[in-house]
Structure 1
Amino acid sequence: MMATSSILLVEDNQDLAETVGDFLESQGFVVDYAGDGRTALHLASSETFDAIVLDIMLPGLSGLEVCQRLRAEAQLATPIIMLTARDQLDDKLKGFDVGADDYLVKPFDLPELAARVGALIRRKRGVTNVYELGGLRLNVDTMEVWRGDTEIRLSKTLFDILQILMRESPAIVPRATIERECWGDDLPDSDTLRSHLYNLRRAVDRPFDQALIETLPGRGYRIRA
């Protein structure tokens, strides 16, 4: 697994900042906050972060100005993902022109933000995060799954469960471990994981000759060739 990553979250809407920050922390990130552009510029220049989530519309300095100054003046190479309420090509191009690495339009799905942040960090660290097992291939950066020449389309939750099983293979993964990594402290009812695993088997195993996912009653689950 990737080492704990630190995120600077720059958002002037306190409610949104808390929602996003809480979710990122539930995914294992350490989050620091800034509510305006000048504070963001100071923190990003004086402390070390693995990635910066930066809203464009900020009091003081805009997110575009902050990004530009971090790249040009501070020579900062930290991955930056911009957040904006405007889905206009010109806005996106401005963000990329000043040095942003990625761009996400509000409202956005929190799991997508976490996935994009993680991908940027892995790319910066030079980590590909591709798992291969028994003809099954999972790419964390692109969120693609293939079995042989067949692409398998999975929801975010099914993708996460499959990633956990492939990462730990051939070890047995307890139910509690999967639930904690997928849902954090907001644990689902007892049938939720069982239902997701049923759907995961339908996608990954049922169309093929060999089943890869195993259930070991009272112990957990595993995937092996």
Structure 2
Amino acid sequence: MKLLIVEDNRALVANLFAYFEARGHILDAAPDGATGLRLASDNHYDAIVLDWTLPRMDGVQVLQELRRSVRKDVPVLMLTAKGEIADKIEALRIGADDYLVKPFDLAELEARLLAQIRRASGRVTDARLQICDLVMDLSTAEVTRDARPIALQPATRRLLEVLMRAAPALVPRERLEEVLWGDDPPDRDLLRSQMHVLRRAIDAPFASKLLHTVPRVGYRLAATATPDDRENE
């Protein structure tokens, strides 16, 4: 998953990066509310971890703006030292999906974020992602189409999961490159090669095509193509 951490405590941010990056997640960080809101507006994130007390714009203001005009659907988990029931109710009332009081366990934070991401996607039921007859079992990492097993390498499977979670929306090339290579993508267009492998696996043996390309922009999974889509690029 790709996370945005909006938190002004540098030591805590360093701990979050060390834990989540070691487990294969991608993180961005903002030291204040205004920067966090800008990053949330300019980028796609699977979830946002938002501190309550922040410089320039506090967490409540950031959350209200997110829900009003920027990312209405992104899961937001608030981190705070405020532990009173009234504070929790207020956070949930203004649009937080979850609430965790400092200090907290990193494994619990990860589990809560993954649960919120699953709930945010209407395509996830019983730990499964499904687009038409294409199914990914998140508990076993098995992929099938029309009940036929599809063998994928781990990198290609990660790309497919990101596309399935976003479907039918377009996923920018930059987002997919981050999934594979983080902040240091290769100079050569290796993403195109990876997408070619994925297309051969999930589309080539079947009559209908699910993986579509918007040249130089990104990729999407959908039952039907749009005028901008290409199926073989």
Normalising to structure 2: TM-score of the pair? 0.53
* Match runs of 1:178-193 below 5 Å: none
- Equivalent residue number for residue 128 of structure 1: 125
Structure 2 match to 1:15: 11
Match of 2:140 among 139, 159, 167: 167
Residues 16 and 106, structure 2, Cα contact 8 Å, conserved in 1:
yes
Report the Cα distance in structure 1 between the residues aligned to 2:4 and 2:31, rounded to whole angstroms.
Answer: 11
The partner residue of 2:99 within 87, 96, 103 is 103
2:33 aligned with 1:37, yes or no?
Answer: yes
Aligned partners of 2:5 and 2:41: how far apart in 1?
14
Corresponding residue SS for 1:83: strand
- 2-side partners of 1:30 and 1:17: how far apart? 13
> TM-score with structure 1 length normalisation?
0.55
- The structure with the larger Rg is 1
The aligned counterpart of 1:147 is none
Residue matched to 1:58: 54
Map 1:202-217 to 2 at 5 A: none
Cα distance in 2 between the residues matched to 1:71 and 1:89: 22
Q: Give yes or no for contact 2:40–2:70 (8 Å, CA) kept in 1.
A: no
What pairs up with 1:64-75 in 2 under 5 angstroms? 64-75=60-71
* Counterpart residue type for residue 49 of structure 1: Y
Alpha-carbon distance between aligned partners in 2 of 1:92 and 1:79, rounded to the nearest angstrom: 16
Q: How many Å separate the matches in 1 of 2:69 and 2:141?
A: 43
Residue 2 of structure 2 corresponds to which residue in structure 1?
Answer: 6
Q: SS state of the match for residue 140, structure 2?
A: helix
Could you tell me which amino acid in structure 1 is paired with residue 140 of structure 2?
A: R
Give the match's secondary structure for 1:73: helix
Name the structure 1 match of 2:23. Answer: 27
Preserved contact between residue 9 and residue 21 of structure 1 (Cα < 8 Å): no
Deviation digits for residues 44-94 of structure 1 (CA, Å, limit 9, x no counterpart): 011111100001011111111100111013252100000011111111111
Q: What is the aligned-residue RMSD (CA, Å)? A: 2.3
Note closer, same or farther for the CA distance 1:129–1:17 as it changes in structure 2 (3 Å cut): farther
Please list every run of at least 4 consecutive aligned residues from structure 1 whose deviation after the TM superposition is greater than 3 angstroms.
128-131
CA distance in 1, matches of 2:125, 2:103: 28
Per-residue displacement from partner, 1:85-105 (whole Å, max 9, x unpaired)? 111111111111111000000
Provide the secondary structure at the position in 1 that maps to 2:99: strand
Q: Secondary structure at the match of 2:44?
A: coil
SS in 2 for 1:65: helix
Using the alignment, how far apart are the partners of 1:168 and 1:41 within structure 2? Answer: 34
C-alpha separation between the residues in 2 aligned to 1:168 and 1:81? 26
Q: Residues 112 and 37 of structure 1: is their aligned pair in 2 closer, same or farther, counting only changes over 3 Å?
A: same
- The separation in 2 between residues aligned to 1:74 and 1:130, in whole angstroms, is 28
Distance across 1 between alignment mates of 2:71 and 2:40: 11
Q: Quick one: distance in 1 between partners of 2:25 and 2:75? A: 15
Report the alpha carbon displacement of residue 129 of structure 1 after superposing the two structures with TM: 4.4
